[in-house]
A = this chain, B = another copy of it.
Amino acid sequence: MDWESFYDTHPSPSTHEPTICEVENFVCSHENEKIVFVTSGGTTVPIEHNTVRFVDNFSVGTRGSASAEYFLQCGYCVIFLYRSNSLEPFVRHFNNSLLDKFEIVDNKSIQMKQSEFDTLYPVLKKFKDAKEANRLLSISFTTLIEYMWLVRGCCMLLDTKYCMLYFAAAVSDFYIPPSEMKEHKHQSNDGPPLIALRLVPKVLPAVTHIWSPNAYIISFKLETDAEILLEKCKSALAKYKHQLVIGNLLSTRKHNVKLVSRDGIEDITLSTADSETGLEIEYLIVTNLEAKHDAYIKSKQ
């Protein structure tokens, strides 16, 4: 199935239009500024109509949420499309043992403990500044079909050289068409279900050729087998003809990625020493991409 028939057979969810309006307002208020569209987290593929079970992709959304923070730091406006319940920029620093970070003072106020303040103050400050300046728009989705519609809607609004599309979400390659889903929960005394999945059509050809041919477009390849990673990156680049593929292995993704472009392969490695200072590889990725995007904008003048 190609992407056109996918959209023909799966109508947009009812929440779609109002969300795209929000995106449109955001884009309009940042004309000629650099905007990055970051997708993040996994996608959920329901197995039954009344969903009790689903097939999911491994992704807590670290890559996307960390990158969004650094893009803001580099002066980008950020549209952050994330799977609900996956990590969000800035918020992610508060998640662990959240309530232990706070204390009740004199039974009349709730304050962050002083021991946490030095680390979390700059995080909260950046978040508040970004929100106040209307430079961060977060949009959540759950299912694959919601994701597919939001990507289409957003990409069509982001077709200029000032826009970067950064597809960090782990999108399911497979899904079950609603027409073939069972109505009710599969009963265990019917024996285990045999789940026949369909291929999700690739939308990258539509993004690069139809929806946002003028944007700077980055896709990701996540593999578990080092042998095939680079080849898969190169073949994606050859097939979709966009600007960059970022290749990473599940086991080493937090300290090594490969940037594959028509100019060759660049290796980005976060050293153990740097990692111990709290530096994240996403900072290295984003600052590298910023330079590439600036050159791209210049080349189009």
Contact = CB atoms under 8 A, between A and B. Distances in A.
Contact of A224 (B172, B184, B198): B184
A251 B49 CA distance: 12
A121 B125 contact: no
Interface in A57-84: 57-58, 60
Contacts of A100: 131
Contacts of A198: 192
A186 B199 CA distance: 12
Nearest to A54: B56
Main secondary structure of the interface of A (DSSP, over half): mixed
A53 B60 contact: no
A91 B99 contact: yes
A53 B58 contact: yes
A224 B52 contact: yes
Interface string A154-196: 0000000000000000101110000000011110100111111
B52 A170 contact: yes
Tell me how many chains of this kind the complex includes. Answer: 2
A184 to B, nearest CB: 5
Contacts of A117: 109-110
Contacts of A30: none
A51 B104 CA distance: 41
Contacts of A125: 104
B58 A54 contact: yes
Contacts of A220: none
A216 interface: no
A7 B53 CA distance: 24
A37 B27 CA distance: 50
Given A104-B128, A121-B104, A195-B194, A225 B184 contact: yes
A147 interface: no
Which of A44, A52, A193, A194 has most B Cβ within 10 Å?
A52
Contacts of A111: 109-112
Contact of A124 (B104, B192, B194): B104
Given A50-B224, A251-B50, A127 B104 contact: no
A184 B131 CA distance: 41
27 contacts: A52-B58, A52-B170, A53-B57, A54-B57, A54-B58, A55-B55, A55-B56, A55-B195, A56-B56, A91-B98, A94-B99, A99-B124, A99-B127, A100-B131, A104-B125, A107-B121, A110-B120, A111-B111, A173-B186, A184-B225, A185-B222, A185-B223, A185-B224, A188-B199, A192-B196, A192-B197, A194-B197
Interface of A: 44, 47-48, 50-58, 60, 85, 90-91, 94, 98-100, 102, 104, 107, 109-112, 117, 120-121, 124-125, 127-128, 131, 170, 172-174, 183-186, 188, 191-199, 222-225, 250-251
